[in-house]
Structure 1
Amino acid sequence: MADFDDSRLDDREVLLTYDAALRRLAECGARLRSEWYGASATIFALAEADRPRAVIAVGTDARLIRAVLEPVCPVPFVAWPRQGLPGWVGPLDLVLIMASEGSDAALIESAQEATRRGARIVIAAPEASSVAEFAASRSTTLVPTTTGDPLAAVMLMLAALHELRLGPPVSVESVADAADMVAEASSPFVDLSANPAKGIACAMADAQPLVWGGSVLAARAGRRVAGALRVVTGRAALSADAHDLMAVIEATEPADPFADPFEDDPSADRRPCLLILDDGDAHADVSRAAAALRAACSRRDVRSDSLEAPEGEDLARYVMLLQKGRFTAAYLGIGLGSTSLG
């Protein structure tokens, strides 16, 4: 991969070659609205359904749904990471299937198993898809999706869970607005001096990325952002809890003030750069952990930066952090000349 060149971030011809990836990031809010308008009637029809004994979620971002529901869900909730279903699932239980692409073999197996056992099913998938076909039964509700966006499928499922009286209210419009705000501030047409995503990408140009989010949802966003950074850099971007990241930071040798950046290979001993995802969580343990990480960075001469989403409902702040991180990863990839932005 080429050396990082920050001039590429404001070069219109270079940015044009990445138009499809940047456009997909910018259209996140539009996809959310489109999916909501197409599925809202189906979702509202769930309001009269009986409460299940337990809820089992499978598919992309099942753990995100768990993070949102765990504090309030009145029945046991399981995010199932493997093929099939737990042995105890039966007709009294609700199985959630997020299948935005509709052809995943593991989800087809889970759909078949849920149907065979007579479980109630709510599935977010394209109407004309294999997983929707195998999930079809008298106890199945198909929430139709059309954009192939896993995040949109999750938002629809969370809205459905609210109608089932199993989760908190969800404003898809406010989440879409949050995504639009990030797209505007991080637009490729906003130059480096005023674009926070481009600025942090420059800070990470030769660094080993570390990503930390203090709240449950910020940590979920951190894992997604770290994954995007790994794709564009080929580096082992790490998202972990504060204790594990502290060990990495404290083990970093102080920077050599006499190092020659033109003669020394920056990839031989990359210094970490900490990216903190701050969603405004005011809990004392989150604040203490953030302060400790920043203090450690100061002691070891490790750079730290923050992405912030201090206002709005939980899911809007989550999406704001996620999209800011994804734009940052995209610009880092563009500066490095990456052939893929994920």
Structure 2
Amino acid sequence: MADFDDSRLDDRRVLLRYDEGLRRLAESGARLRSEWFGASARIFGLAESDRPRAVIAVGTDARLIRAVLEPTCPVPFVAWPRQGLPGWVGPLDLVLILASEGSDPALIETAQEASRRGARIVITAPEVSSVAEFAASRSTTLIPTSTGDPLAAVMVVLAALHEMRLGPPVSVESIADAADMVAEACSPYVDLSANPAKELACALADAQPLVWGGSVLAARAGRRVASDLRSVSGRAALSADAHDLMAVIEATKPADPFADPFEDGPQADRRPCLVILDDGDTRSDVTRAVASLRTACSRVDVRTDTIEARESEALARYVMLLQRGRFTAAYLGIGLGASSID
């Protein structure tokens, strides 16, 4: 991959080559509204549902649903990571199947098994899809999706779970507004001097990214952002707990002011850069971890940058952190001349 060139981030001809990926990022809020508009009637129809014995979620973002529901869900909740279902699942349980693409063989098998066991099923999938077909039963509710966006689908599912009195309130409109705010601030038409995502991409240009979020939702956003950074850069971007990141930071040698990147090679100056995802969590363990990480970085001259989202509801803050990180990864890829930023 080529060396990072920040002039590419404001070059309209270069940006035009990445228009599809940037447009998909910018249209996240529109997809949220579209999915909500198409699914709201069926979601409101779930308000009178009986409470299940337990909830089992499978598919993309099942762990995000768990992160949101765990503090308040009145029944046991399981994010099932494997094909099939736990042996105890039966007619008293609710199986959530998140299949925004609609053709995953593992989810098709899980849908068949849930139907065979008589479990109640709520599924997000295209109305005409293999997984919707195999999940069909008298106890199945299909929440139709049309955009293929897992983030939009999971927000709609969380709204449905609130109607079923299993989760907290979810304002899809405010979450979509949060995504739009990030898209406006990080637009490719906002130049580097005023664009927070382009600025952070430049900070990561020659760095080994470390990503940390203190709250459960910020940590989940961090894992997604790190995955995007790995994809566009080919570097081992790491998202982990503060304890694990501390070990990486403390093993870093202090910066050598006399190092010559031309003589020592392009990898010689690739030092860690810590990106903190701050959603305003003020719990004592989070504030202590932030202070410890910053102190350790200062001691060995490791740069720290912060992505902040301190307003609105928890899920809106999550989406703001996630989208800012995704725009940053996209601009890092553009600066490095990546073939794709999807």
> Is the 2:178–2:317 contact (alpha carbons within 8 Å) kept by the matching residues of 1?
yes
- Which residue does the alignment assign to 2:316? 316
Aligned to 1:21: 21
Superposed CA RMSD = 0.7
Listed one character per residue, the Cα deviations across residues 87-134 of structure 1 (whole Å, up to 9, x for unaligned) are 000000000000000000110011000000000000000000000000
Alignment of 1:136-151 (within 5 A): 136-151=136-151
Give 1:65's aligned amino acid: I
Letter of the structure 1 residue corresponding to residue 75 of structure 2: V
**Distance (whole Å) between structure 2 residues aligned to residue 102 and residue 270 of structure 1:** 41
1:265 and 1:60 mapped to 2: Cα distance? 40
Q: CA deviation at 1:260?
A: 1.8
Name the counterpart of 2:86.
86
Amino acid at match of 1:62: A
SS in 2 for 1:84: coil
Residue in structure 1 matched with residue 171 of structure 2 by the alignment: 171
Q: Distance in 2 between matches of 1:198 and 1:266?
A: 22
The 5 Å alignment of 1:209-248 reads: 209-248=209-248
Distance 1:58 1:217 in 2: 18
Tell me the equivalent position of 1:119.
119
What percent identity do the matched residue pairs reach?
84
* Secondary structure, aligned partner of 1:109: helix
1:106 paired residue number = 106
Matched, 1:258 2:258: yes
Equivalent position of 2:275 in the other structure? 275
In structure 2, the partner of 1:12 is 12
Cα deviation 1:155-192 (Å, max 9, x = unaligned): 01101100100000100000000000000000000000
2:223 match: secondary structure: helix
Q: Partner of 2:61 in structure 1?
A: 61
Q: Which residue of 2 aligns with 1:43?
A: 43
Aligned residue for 1:95, secondary structure, equals strand
Specify the code of the residue in structure 1 equivalent to 2:156: L
Partner of 1:195: 195
**CA shift at 1:261, angstroms?**
3.0
Matched to 2:38, the amino acid is G
Tell me how far 1:264 sits from its aligned partner: 2.8
Name the aligned partner's letter for residue 170 of structure 2.
Answer: V
For 2:45 and 2:84, the matched residues in 1 are separated by 28
In structure 2, distance between residues paired with 1:265 and 1:250: 23
Match of 1:340 in 2: 340
Task: Give the residue type in structure 1 aligned to 2:300.
Answer: R
Looking at structure 1, the residues matched to 229 and 272 of structure 2 have their Cα atoms a distance apart, in angstroms, of 13
Secondary structure at the residue paired with 1:100? coil
* Aligned-pair CA distance for 1:268: 4.2
Q: Within 2, Cα distance between the matches of 1:77 and 1:27?
A: 31
1:201 CA displacement: 0.3
Mapped partners of 2:145, 2:117: distance in 1: 25
How many aligned positions are there?
Answer: 342
Superposition deviation, residue 269 in structure 1: 5.6
Provide the rounded CA distance (Å) in 2 between the counterparts of 1:323 and 1:91.
38
| C-alpha contact 2:275 2:307 (8 A) present in aligned 1 | yes
Q: Which amino acid aligns with 1:315?
A: L
Is the 2:69–2:168 contact (alpha carbons within 8 Å) kept by the matching residues of 1? yes
Distance (Å, rounded) in 2 between the aligned partners of 1:41 and 1:265: 60
Distance 1:13 1:261 in 2: 30
Q: Distance in 1 between matches of 2:35 and 2:267?
A: 43
How far, CA to CA, are the matches of 1:12 and 1:75 in structure 2?
A: 52
* Correspondence for 1:298: 298
Whether the 8 Å contact between 2:310 and 2:317 is mirrored in structure 1 is yes
Secondary structure at 2:293 match in 1: helix
Structure 1: distance between partners of 2:8 and 2:267: 20
CA distance in 2 between counterparts of 1:133 and 1:269 reads 54
One-letter identity of the residue aligned with 2:64 = L
Structure 2 Cα separation of the partners of residues 118 and 261 of structure 1: 64
Cα distance in structure 1, aligned partners of 2:96 and 2:219 = 23
- Separation of aligned partners in 1, 2:7 and 2:150: 33
Which string of whole-angstrom CA distances, capped at 9 and with x for unpartnered residues, describes residues 181-231 of structure 1?
000000000000000100010000011000000000000000000000000
